């Protein structure tokens, strides 16, 4: 017993070293799953508040870009309103004075939650974005995040007042995309090299496309409705022996200047998920 204690004292530093390293390694490995601890993350209230303060200073320098984006989107929405009004006016004579309830298209069953980016990185392998809205504003895990340019990412962690988004610039996220013109789909993954480009996989060699073609969300997930722009084809190569194209995609969103985003709230989320689960559990 005495020898054991002497041994423990002699090697106490080594033992402590090994213990701490195992603990760190455990944290790293655990983080690769979906059950992540909210405590050691930037959605922790204390840390997020610090980020919010620092952002309130830095935000000032990006006001011009944010303004341009908003003005652009404003114009686009105004045009859309005018167009819809015209359509409505032209259809009114056909309707007569019937009072049928308006049928809402299934694709329209989404609403947006507006949020501000309070922390963002583009220079790491695993980039994350912190938003200033959380569960009390209606944000849920798995919601899609977009801005006026296109797809930003998916919500991965939520606390009461804050949430953390996994952006496209993180290899943990694969976004299902398709060509706007012919509907062939494949996942888009970031490779960790350049914040402007990502890679599109699984496009077979018989598919016809050209440089500059738009890639949009496929609408097969709960996170994004169909048709939101992800990026455009920037470059592609295919070897004689390859079955699939190697496609480089220019991302629509400029992640360096990200300041305001919209979180997509899919109103029928619960119902669709329950229905699909009940089928798969049978």
Partner 1 sequence: MIIFLQNIVRFILLILIQVFVLNNIRFSGFINPYIYILFILLLPVRFPRWISLILGFALGLIIDSFTNTPGVHAFATVLIAYLRNPVINAFISVEEGANPVPGLHSFGVSAFVKYLISLVVIHHTAFYFLEVFSFHDAGITLMRIVLNSFVTITILLGIQSFKKGKL
Given the rule CB under 8 A, which residues bind partner 1? Answer: 12-13, 16-17, 20-21, 23-32, 36-37, 39-42, 44, 47, 50-51, 54, 58, 121-126, 128, 164, 191-195, 256
Q: CA angle, 247 as apex, 239 and 193 as ends, to 5°?
A: 110
Question: At closest approach, how far in Å is the CB of 56 from partner 1?
Answer: 12
Nearer to partner 1, 21 or 83 (CB): 21
Question: At closest approach, how far in Å is the CB of 55 from partner 1?
Answer: 10
Nearer to partner 1, 30 or 74 (CB): 30
Nearer to partner 1, 12 or 277 (CB): 12
Question: At closest approach, how far in Å is the CB of 173 from partner 1?
Answer: 13
Nearer to partner 1, 128 or 224 (CB): 128
Contact, 182 vs 208, CB < 8 A? yes
Nearer to partner 1, 47 or 110 (CB): 47
Nearer to partner 1, 57 or 104 (CB): 57
Question: At closest approach, how far in Å is the CB of 192 from partner 1?
Answer: 7
Question: At closest approach, how far in Å is the CB of 37 from partner 1?
Answer: 7
How many of the other CB atoms lie within 10 Å of CB of 181? Answer: 12
Question: At closest approach, how far in Å is the CB of 87 from partner 1?
Answer: 44
């Amino acid at each position: 017993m005495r020898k054991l204690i002497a041994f423990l004292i002699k090697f106490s530093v080594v033992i402590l070293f090994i213990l701490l390293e195992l603990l760190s390694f455990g944290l790293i490995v655990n983080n690769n799953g979906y059950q992540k601890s909210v405590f050691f993350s930037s959605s922790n209230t204390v840390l997020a508040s610090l980020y919010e303060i620092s952002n309130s200073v830095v935000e000032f320098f990006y006001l011009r870009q944010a303004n341009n984006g908003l003005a652009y989107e404003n114009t686009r929405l105004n045009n859309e309103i005018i167009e819809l009004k015209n359509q409505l006016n032209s259809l009114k004579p056909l309707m007569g004075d019937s009072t049928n309830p308006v049928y809402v298209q299934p694709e329209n069953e989404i609403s947006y939650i507006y949020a501000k980016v309070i922390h963002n990185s583009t220079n790491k392998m695993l980039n994350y974005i912190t938003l200033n809205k959380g569960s009390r504003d209606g944000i849920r895990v798995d919601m899609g995040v977009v801005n006026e340019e296109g797809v930003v990412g998916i919500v991965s962690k939520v606390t009461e007042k804050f949430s953390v988004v996994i952006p496209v610039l993180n290899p943990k996220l694969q976004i299902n995309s398709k060509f706007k013109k012919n509907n062939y789909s494949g996942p888009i993954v970031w490779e960790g090299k350049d914040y402007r480009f990502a890679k599109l996989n699984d496009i077979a060699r018989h598919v016809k496309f050209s440089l500059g073609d738009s890639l949009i969300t496929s609408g097969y997930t709960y996170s994004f409705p169909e048709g939101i722009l992800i990026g455009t084809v920037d470059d592609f190569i295919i070897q004689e022996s390859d079955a699939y194209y190697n496609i480089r995609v220019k991302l629509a969103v400029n992640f360096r200047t990200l300041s305001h985003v919209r979180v997509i709230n899919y109103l029928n989320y619960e119902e669709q998920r329950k229905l699909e689960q009940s089928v798969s559990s049978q």
